[in-house]
Structure 1
């Protein structure tokens, strides 16, 4: 068997885990099934991921990184926060929701599995902290690059954004309706932009000094 670097092997096994999780669900996914999907022995998998908990954490991290990549690729963050929210969420929905309901269902299952499994509850909290953290950083970068300020803290804007989109995704997974979902997404985007009340930083400072 040819030598494969550990970083490459890790990515392959995470991809295999995502396939099995999406197909079988979290509860029915075992390390043995992931090893078979990845074409490696169980011992090789356990050398990289000694426990299912570590494997699930790696899957969550991989999904978060994918979301971050989609957000960054969807917009020019120099065009401001409103543009970033509008284009970023539209791109996210098109690429990761509309045609990937299995991926979204897997993420919800990861959350509920972690919440119901003793000593793994922290994974659910960590999952949403990562989601909100990456969105907050992305929003702050867009506003900063365009010389803008946001009316609410970026951390709060990110939490509201994640919660709103999360609800739309769950509704879409349970009752797929592409036209309705896009209309609702546009409404959520308008609500988020209204919440942010973006202003040029210079104008905001002048108003504060008045």
Structure 2
């Protein structure tokens, strides 16, 4: 059953989308709440009613981006219960596919991280990183009720994959080469499976 959104929820989503469009066009530094309101086609007062600050809106943008990737990963996994090796493949391939379809958004996310660190908003950078870590960990976890790994071990594996993905994103953005990146993704999958086996032996 489809959930019906309230007018307030629709307006909030509209503002978040407007913020993302503005960020893609002018970057974090060049994006003002006035520009966001214009992109979202709402009054500035309406924007400030839903978001008390630019930082609050940036957090909402990050959450929307992560939710978008999470939804695609859920669709890739479906209702089946793949084994851990298969879940690793689904996570890495699905994440990379989403990234390649939205490279401009990846630049926005890196800008948001650097902006947060430069402006003394360490919490925003932390929140972004932890959200991705939770997403990866949840995608790796078993749904059967019998986890193969401890929460700590799932976190170790998620951190390894996240670090690999981040490095490959930067490499592809700076010097695009889909063939090279494809080979690197296969290597990351292989390395992640090896780490998973090591963690399983230690469990």
The offset of 1:108, in angstroms, is 0.4
Indicate the residue corresponding to 1:27 in structure 2. Answer: 29
Indicate the residue corresponding to 2:177 in structure 1. Answer: 177
The offset of 1:138, in angstroms, is 1.6
> How far apart in 2 are the matches of 1:89 and 1:146?
23
Please, what is the CA RMSD of the aligned residues?
2.2
Indicate the residue corresponding to 1:145 in structure 2. Answer: 144
Gaps of at least 5 residues in structure 2 are: 1-5
Moved over 6 A (4+): none
Aligned length: 196
Q: Could you tell me whether the CA contact under 8 Å between 1:111 and 1:123 is conserved in 2?
A: yes
SS of residue paired to 1:105: helix
- TM, length-normalised to structure 2: 0.89
Gaps of at least 5 residues in structure 1 are: none
Indicate the residue corresponding to 1:89 in structure 2. Answer: 92
The offset of 1:99, in angstroms, is 2.8
> How far apart in 1 are the matches of 2:149 and 2:125?
28
Q: Could you tell me whether the CA contact under 8 Å between 1:78 and 1:146 is conserved in 2?
A: no
> How far apart in 2 are the matches of 1:129 and 1:64?
11
The offset of 1:199, in angstroms, is 9.4
Structure number with larger C-alpha Rg:
1
The offset of 1:148, in angstroms, is 6.0
SS of residue paired to 1:176: coil
SS of residue paired to 1:197: helix
